[in-house]
């Protein structure tokens, strides 16, 4: 393997991780602005309104995760395939195109904000759909970048060693890129429009992204604790089967109230009930491999920890637990149509969104950043530091605190806005006027600040790891 080209792929991965981390910070900052506006509605009024801050908050979330996912693939590809990443120069060029496009889109969101609500708005300012509001010119740019990324992955995967992890990633990433196309066109009928929009949002996060997490967890377990590849990949195939088996038709829980036929109630209920099962399996997967690998070492008379990257492993374990908690428990709270009728569109959804995106994706992507930092600095054993421990504690505690606060606020909305006042105009406002809702929003802001402070510590830890003598080299 030509090490210089190998380094190029990993170098490109670190670029992706770096920009992802910057966007992660932006996501938290704009989230703080939006959270402040719940408490002080006049904050930045007509300068950076809630609608703009929220757009930036949720789009930065999606984009930083996509950047970190691309970075993760570029990082693991040479390790898994045993060859240089093919087309790495094109990959680098596409990276800069991607960064430039995102920078322009963000600047337009901040400084232009709204358009005349005609075709020029859709093409040059924003498309107006949650999570994928990028204007259409950027959509095409994203498709080109994604296709280039998929080409890198496929050309390398087909020529090199086709491990289970790479094979899963190849199938998963083509679905990931292809599904984006479903969010690029409009129909006049809002039900049909939303029907296709969910193909991007749901099938990304509850199918292709979850499968991606399974593949990354498999790679991480092999890299960090030396878990047996065949065992890990066996788990991966089971997870893929369960995730796609339940996740694809689990989309029905988004079709309850958008004007689609009522048979989606049954489909959504059945597959939503099954959706937490793979999340439990993923949780157990980590426990199983850790127990087996550590147990084998201890049987051989070696009591030392098998973990060679403690911070990354902490984030991976947090991922297994957080995925189960955020996507599983907080999802199952309100996934059946009988109760979703009341919870839909309340802060319950927001609570679930915060914990699920954090638990299922942010955690493992931060773990991959630690693996990259370890590899980049040739560290044999990366240890926990005070910063890494405080960072993970404050970020996880902050997100959990926000989730609990939003859940309480959502509960008030369910009782007042929906059950007592029947989803009326007056009910909408009365539900938000109560003390519990207001205090829920206060605590969400406080916990958001805790999360942001944790992020600053995480940045410090990642940036100083290379020079920290505590790690074994």
Binding mask 190-229 for another protein (x = CB under 8 A): --------------------------------------x-
Q: Which of 399, 270, 269 is nearest to 326 (CA)?
A: 399
Segment 314 to 333, residues that bind another protein, using CB under 8 A: 324, 328-329, 332-333
Residue 309 — φ and ψ, nearest 5°? -145, 90
Q: Which of 44, 110, 234, 446 binds another protein (CB under 8 A)?
A: 234
Q: Which of 44, 258, 274, 317 binds another protein (CB under 8 A)?
A: 274
Tell me the DSSP string of 314-383: HHHHHHHHHIIIIIIIHHHTT-SHHHHHHHTTSHHHHHHHHHHIIIIIIHHHHHHHHHHHHHHTT-SBBP
Give how far Cα 473 sits from Cα of 87, 376, 382, 462, Å. Answer: 32, 12, 9, 16
Segment 340 to 359, residues that bind another protein, using CB under 8 A: 341-342
CA 133 to chain centre: 17
Tokens encoding 22: 């910057």
Q: Is 231 in the site for another protein (CB under 8 A)?
A: yes
Distance, in Å, from the CA atom of 125 to the CA atom of 113, rounded to the nearest integer, reads: 7
CA atoms within 13 A on the CB side of 184: 13
CB of 290 to another protein, least distance (A): 9
> Exposed, middle or buried by CB within 10 Å (0-12, 13-18, 19+), for 433?
exposed
Tokens encoding 454: 């944790």
Q: Is 92 in the site for another protein (CB under 8 A)?
A: no
Of 26-34, 200-208, 276-284, 463-471, the segment contacting another protein by CB under 8 A is 276-284
Tokens encoding 435: 């003390």
Q: Is 248 in the site for another protein (CB under 8 A)?
A: no
Q: Is 428 in the site for another protein (CB under 8 A)?
A: no
CB of 349 to another protein, least distance (A): 14
Q: Is 404 in the site for another protein (CB under 8 A)?
A: no
Number of residues that bind another protein (CB under 8 A): 45
Instruction: Give the residues across from 381 on adjacent strands.
Output: 472
Binding mask 116-155 for another protein (x = CB under 8 A): ----------------------------------------
Binding mask 408-427 for another protein (x = CB under 8 A): ---x--xx--xxxxxxx-xx
Residues forming contacts to another protein in the complex (CB under 8 A) are 228, 230-231, 234-235, 238, 266, 269-270, 273-274, 276-277, 280-281, 283-284, 287-288, 291-292, 295, 324, 328-329, 332-333, 336-339, 341-342, 411, 414-415, 418-424, 426-427
């Amino acid at each position: 393997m030509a090490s210089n080209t190998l380094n190029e792929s990993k170098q490109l991965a670190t670029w992706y991780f770096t920009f992802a981390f910057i966007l992660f910070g932006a996501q938290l900052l704009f989230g703080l602005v939006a959270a402040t506006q719940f408490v002080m509605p006049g904050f930045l009024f007509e300068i950076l309104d809630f609608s703009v801050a929220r757009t930036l908050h949720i789009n930065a979330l999606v984009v930083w995760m996509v950047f970190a996912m691309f970075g993760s693939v570029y990082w693991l590809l040479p390790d898994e395939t045993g060859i240089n990443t093919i087309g790495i120069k094109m990959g680098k060029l596409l990276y800069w195109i991607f960064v430039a496009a995102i920078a322009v889109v963000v600047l337009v969101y901040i400084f232009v904000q709204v358009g005349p609500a005609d075709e020029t708005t859709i093409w040059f300012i924003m498309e107006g759909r949650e999570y994928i509001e990028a204007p259409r010119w950027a959509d095409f740019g994203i498709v080109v970048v994604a296709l280039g990324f998929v080409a890198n992955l496929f050309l390398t995967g087909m020529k090199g060693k086709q491990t289970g992890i790479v094979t899963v990633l190849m199938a998963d990433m083509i679905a990931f890129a292809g599904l984006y196309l479903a969010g690029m066109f409009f129909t006049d009928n809002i039900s049909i429009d939303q029907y296709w929009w969910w193909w991007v949002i749901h099938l990304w996060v509850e199918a292709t992204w979850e499968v991606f997490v399974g593949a990354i967890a498999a790679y991480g377990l092999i890299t960090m604790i030396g878990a047996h590849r065949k065992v890990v990949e066996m788990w991966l195939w089971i997870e893929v089967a369960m995730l796609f088996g339940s996740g694809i038709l689990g989309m029905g829980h988004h079709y309850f109230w958008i004007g689609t036929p009522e048979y989606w109630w049954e489909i959504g209920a059945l597959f939503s009930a099954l959706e937490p099962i793979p999340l439990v399996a993923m949780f157990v997967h980590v426990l199983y491999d850790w127990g087996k690998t550590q147990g084998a070492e201890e049987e051989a008379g070696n009591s030392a920890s098998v973990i060679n990257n403690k911070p990354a492993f902490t984030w991976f374990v947090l991922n297994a637990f957080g995925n189960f908690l955020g996507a599983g428990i907080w999802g199952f709270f309100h996934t059946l149509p009988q109760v979703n009728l009341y919870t839909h569109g309340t802060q319950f959804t927001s609570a679930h969104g915060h914990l699920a995106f954090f638990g299922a994706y942010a955690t493992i992507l931060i773990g991959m950043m630690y693996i990259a930092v370890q590899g980049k600095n040739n560290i044999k054993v990366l240890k926990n530091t005070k910063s890494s421990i405080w960072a993970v504690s404050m970020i996880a505690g902050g997100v959990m605190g926000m989730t609990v606060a939003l859940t309480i606020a959502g509960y008030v909305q369910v009782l007042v806005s929906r059950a007592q006042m029947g989803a009326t105009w007056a009910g909408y406002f009365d539900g938000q006027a109560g003390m519990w809702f207001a205090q829920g929003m206060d605590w969400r802001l406080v916990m958001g600040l805790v999360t942001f402070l944790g992020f600053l510590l995480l940045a410090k830890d990642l940036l100083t790891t290379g020079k920290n003598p505590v790690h074994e080299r």
